Amino acid sequence: MAATRDMDGQSELWETADRKEDDAALVVDVDGFEGPLDLLLALARTQKVDLTKISILALAEQYLAYIEHLRQLRLELAADYLVMAAWLAYLKSRLLLPAPAPDEEPSGEEMAAALAFRLRRLEAMRDAAAKLVNRDRLGREVFARGMPEPVEVIQRSDYSATLYDLLTAYASQRQRLMVSVVHVRRRQVWSLAEAREVLTRMIGSIADWTPVDVFLSPWMQTPEMRATVLASSFSASLELVREGKVELRQTSAFASLYMRDRDRDGTEVNKDG
Amino acid sequence: MADLGNLTSLAPEERRTALRMVEAMLFASAEPLGTGEIAARLPEGSDVEALIRELEHVYSGRGVNLVKVAGKYMFRTASDLAFLLQRDAGDQKKLSRAALETLAIIAYHQPVTRAEIEEVRGVSISKGTLDVLMEAGWIKMRGRRRTPGRPVTYGTTESFLAHFGLEAIGDLPGLEELKGAGLLDGRIPPGFTVPEPRDGDALTSDEDPLDPDDLLAAGLTDHD
Amino acid sequence: MADLGNLTSLAPEERRTALRMVEAMLFASAEPLGTGEIAARLPEGSDVEALIRELEHVYSGRGVNLVKVAGKYMFRTASDLAFLLQRDAGDQKKLSRAALETLAIIAYHQPVTRAEIEEVRGVSISKGTLDVLMEAGWIKMRGRRRTPGRPVTYGTTESFLAHFGLEAIGDLPGLEELKGAGLLDGRIPPGFTVPEPRDGDALTSDEDPLDPDDLLAAGLTDHD
């Protein structure tokens, strides 16, 4: 076989390409053959003649003997090996016995020629496969561009961005930040949770009725904040009242809202009671 | 004169630019490009063939060559430098002997049905074998044979040609000898019909197009 | 004299072969190659630098150029011919503004933690933003900052450099260059600086290596 160019590569590709024609090597391993035709081809090679000059009769006998040998070893044989054996036995009889009256049946010679043709064709295809596999193959011996730049078909979607995009993005965001550094950073919205947290922290330091806007004043330095701080802390303080933690007092509509620690007061009440 | 006019009328500078463009396009692609694809991006009236011939010449002795495969052009490394690069080919798929033989039979006998492949090999092929070849992108379903049962016919793909460095199916190694020996042509004993390998996707007179279902089933093989 | 001896002692034929080898290697490689990697496959004593300079020269006016990115070499379509390849760029995804800004901050401020990125941007970044950049192969986890919580530090990859055509991170323009390019306008408050980006994977003094778990979690980002 021609498949000897690259021993390592070949044996991977050709699994058992170098099966020997040796009779002895044909031991019992029918599994190694790809069907009866493959086995016949291997046997034919033992005749060491051109396949066009092969004796099909001798080959048939070889095959039958081999199968018989396997059966004596009580090996299970796939059905197609046995079908081939039966066909070869029939072929043998047709070749040996005088031809029956000419009819539609192909003659023994025609059958033998057909078999010889099939063997030659199989061998030819094997050689062709070997020649194919020994060509300079793309990705094995010869290589395409390793880093193709997408032209025709784009297999995977790539992210596109230019250095200009990158620098623009960086510069503009740094610039944005520069601007916000100049102004005092402020929160636009005081959340209920924040208000509640601040109020809770303060409860302990409230001695007596204290206007809520007094101790919220540090958070209300700008008019924008005033609304959100008042709204959130009012809601939060109502929550705290409901939970019995503070008391609220307002003398009249729109007057200042006063707040004091309920616990402190509560203890007094308890003492009183 | 009219035909050559376009080329010869190019100023040297324009010609050089066109050459650079062809070079860039072919170099950028890992797939073979046809002259049509190349021409589509060149200035109108460029003589693509002449430009390619010139590039072929420029690169002929280099580490990278311009070759024609599957009727298209691609750059690839020079084959004498295989020793240098083979270690790059780490994750090659290993083809079984059965798969390789099947591939050869499909290549030389296409369009060919599964039954015909089995007839040549004298053994049935496992479903996996054709799948592996289709997955590798080397074979595809072509159509259906107009015989009872309408069996699917198989043929090779463009990437088969590219992979094995063939310009066309007619360049398959030993094709002429096989034909001459009658192993591919009609001179065969009764009961054996072996069609000749045919190029191209055009269906033969005894092939029908695939049904929509076949195309769905073929899936990845239909990309070419 | 001793240094040059190796090169000049090469016979013209050997030199030509070595040149072809370098050309083929660079063509076939799936990533940029360093001189060390190239030298490893050349005959002992080859002057890789000289061979590359010659190849660079050969390709300098061509449709494809040999360029140096991230200290390594690769072939790339000549930039004036990029339009030839852009026709098909339709499938490319554009990076979101958030991703682009995050990438830029990582590039300039690396090694940088997520909290630091958020500090520079003034807004929090979603996990998805970093994932997109990792998926694009442009950023990677470098290590962990030696501060409470040991946050992961991010940096850019070699393919970031390759994509943006930078030879090194240090090539990113500084404050003055950004101003010069009109990207930053004149009203820059005192104390405003643009960091001098640092190159290389070597950990800084306040970085620990990544934990083994990090590497597992990083998955696809670990290929470089």
- Interval B192-216: pLDDT, tens: 333 334 556 667 677 777 765 665 5
Check whether B85 has a pLDDT greater than 90: no
Among A193-207, C2-16, C33-47, the range with the most confident prediction by mean pLDDT is C33-47
Supply angle C-alpha C66, C70, C72, rounded to 5: 45
> pTM above 0.80?
no
For residues A43 and A36, give the distance between their C-alpha atoms in angstroms, rounded to a whole number. 10
Q: What percent of chain A has pLDDT over 70?
A: 72
Chain A residues whose CB is inside 8 A of the B178 CB are: 124, 128
Check whether B176 has a pLDDT greater than 50: yes
Are A177 and C181 within 8 A, CB to CB?
A: no
ipTM exceeding 0.85?
Answer: no
For residues C99 and C97, give the distance between their C-alpha atoms in angstroms, rounded to a whole number. 5
Q: Which of B84, B87, B91 to mutate to test the interface with C (most CBs of C within 10 A)?
A: B84
For range A24-35, the mean pLDDT: 60
For residues A226 and C120, give the distance between their C-alpha atoms in angstroms, rounded to a whole number. 29
The rounded mean pLDDT for chain A is 73
Residue type, C124: S
Check whether A2 has a pLDDT greater than 50: no
Q: Position of tokens 């061509």?
A: C62
For residues A243 and B220, give the distance between their C-alpha atoms in angstroms, rounded to a whole number. 68
Q: Which residue, C32, C37, C109, C40, is CA-closest to C71?
A: C32
For range A115-134, the mean pLDDT: 89
B87-96 — which CB contacts under 8 Å span 24+ positions?
B88/A143, B88/A146, B88/C28, B88/C29, B88/C30, B89/A139, B89/A140, B92/A139, B92/A140, B93/B132, B93/B136, B94/A12, B94/A13, B95/A13, B95/A133, B95/B132, B95/B136, B96/A15, B96/B129, B96/B132
Check whether B190 has a pLDDT greater than 70: no
Portion 2-31 of B in contact with C at CB < 8 A: 19-25, 27-28
- pLDDT at position B185, please? 55
Check whether B74 has a pLDDT greater than 90: yes
Residue B210 DSSP label: P
Are A121 and B189 within 8 A, CB to CB?
A: no
Check whether A23 has a pLDDT greater than 80: no
Check whether C4 has a pLDDT greater than 50: no
Are C77 and B28 within 8 A, CB to CB?
A: yes
- pLDDT at position A266, please? 45
Are B79 and A136 within 8 A, CB to CB?
A: yes
- 3-state class (DSSP) for residue B120: helix
Position A16 confidence tier, pLDDT thresholds 50, 70, 90: very low
B75 touches chain C (CB under 8 A): yes
Are B21 and C81 within 8 A, CB to CB?
A: yes
Q: Which residue, A170, A146, A151, A154, is CA-closest to C162?
A: A146
For range A20-48, the mean pLDDT: 69
C65 touches chain B (CB under 8 A): no
Alpha-helical runs (H) found in chain C: 2-8, 12-28, 35-40, 48-59, 83-86, 97-109, 114-121, 127-135, 158-164, 175-180, 212-218
Check whether A56 has a pLDDT greater than 80: yes
For range A6-27, the mean pLDDT: 40
The token pair at B123 is 């053994």
- pLDDT at position A205, please? 66
Taking CA–CA distances from B74, the nearest residue in chain A reads A144
Taking CA–CA distances from A39, the nearest residue in chain B reads B122
- pLDDT at position B77, please? 92
The rounded mean pLDDT for chain C is 80
Bridge partners (DSSP) of residue C121 are none
C118 touches chain A (CB under 8 A): no
As a three-state string, the secondary structure of C11-63 is CHHHHHHHHHHHHHHHHHCCCCECHHHHHHCCCCCCCHHHHHHHHHHHHCCCC
For residues B112 and C112, give the distance between their C-alpha atoms in angstroms, rounded to a whole number. 62
Position C215 confidence tier, pLDDT thresholds 50, 70, 90: low
Taking the CA of residue A130 and the nearest CA in chain C, the distance in Å comes to 26
Position A114 confidence tier, pLDDT thresholds 50, 70, 90: confident
Residue type, B56: E
B198 touches chain A (CB under 8 A): no
- pLDDT at position C208, please? 82
Check whether B167 has a pLDDT greater than 50: yes
Position C22 confidence tier, pLDDT thresholds 50, 70, 90: very high
Are A118 and B123 within 8 A, CB to CB?
A: no
Taking the CA of residue C62 and the nearest CA in chain B, the distance in Å comes to 6
Check whether C213 has a pLDDT greater than 60: yes
Check whether B22 has a pLDDT greater than 90: yes
Supply angle C-alpha B45, B49, B53, rounded to 5: 135
Taking CA–CA distances from A126, the nearest residue in chain B reads B101
Instruction: Tell me which of A220-229, B168-177, C181-190 is least confident.
Output: C181-190
Bridge partners (DSSP) of residue B143 are B153
Check whether A269 has a pLDDT greater than 90: no
For residues C199 and C209, give the distance between their C-alpha atoms in angstroms, rounded to a whole number. 17
Taking the CA of residue B148 and the nearest CA in chain A, the distance in Å comes to 23
Check whether C92 has a pLDDT greater than 80: no
Instruction: Tell me which of A248-257, B82-91, C69-78 is least confident.
Output: B82-91
Q: What is the pLDDT of residues C32-74, one digit of tens each?
A: 999 999 999 898 888 999 999 999 999 998 999 999 888 899 9
Give the CA distances from residue C144 to residues A258, B138, C1, C204, C215, in Å, rounded to whole numbers and listed in that order. Answer: 51, 48, 48, 10, 12
- 3-state class (DSSP) for residue A258: strand
- pLDDT at position B62, please? 93
Q: Which of B76, B85, B100, B159 to mutate to test the interface with A (most CBs of A within 10 A)?
A: B100
C75 touches chain B (CB under 8 A): yes
Instruction: Tell me which of A197-206, B19-28, C74-83 is least confident.
Output: A197-206
A137 touches chain C (CB under 8 A): no
Taking CA–CA distances from B84, the nearest residue in chain C reads C41
- pLDDT at position A104, please? 64
Burial (Cβ within 10 Å: 0-12, 13-18, ≥19) of residue C92: middle
The token pair at C22 is 């370098």
Position A10 confidence tier, pLDDT thresholds 50, 70, 90: very low
Are B28 and A132 within 8 A, CB to CB?
A: no
C74 touches chain A (CB under 8 A): yes
Chain A residues whose CB is inside 8 A of the C27 CB are: 143, 145-146
Chain A / chain C CB contacts < 8 angstroms: 114
Chain C residues whose CB is inside 8 A of the A182 CB are: 189
- pLDDT at position A30, please? 65
Are A37 and B178 within 8 A, CB to CB?
A: no
Burial (Cβ within 10 Å: 0-12, 13-18, ≥19) of residue B187: exposed
Residue type, A227: A
The token pair at B52 is 């390619």
User: How many of the other CB atoms lie within 10 Å of CB of A254?
Assistant: 6
- pLDDT at position A260, please? 81
Q: What is the pLDDT of residues B87-143, one digit of tens each?
A: 555 445 678 888 999 999 999 998 888 888 988 888 888 767 888 888 888 988 877
Residue A38: alpha-carbon gap to chain centroid: 38
CB under 8 Å to A124, separation ≥6 — which residues? B174, B178, B181, B183
Are C24 and B88 within 8 A, CB to CB?
A: no
- pLDDT at position B54, please? 93
Instruction: Tell me which of A40-44, A46-50, A237-241 is least confident.
Output: A46-50
Nearest by CB to B74, from A38, A132, A144: name it: A144
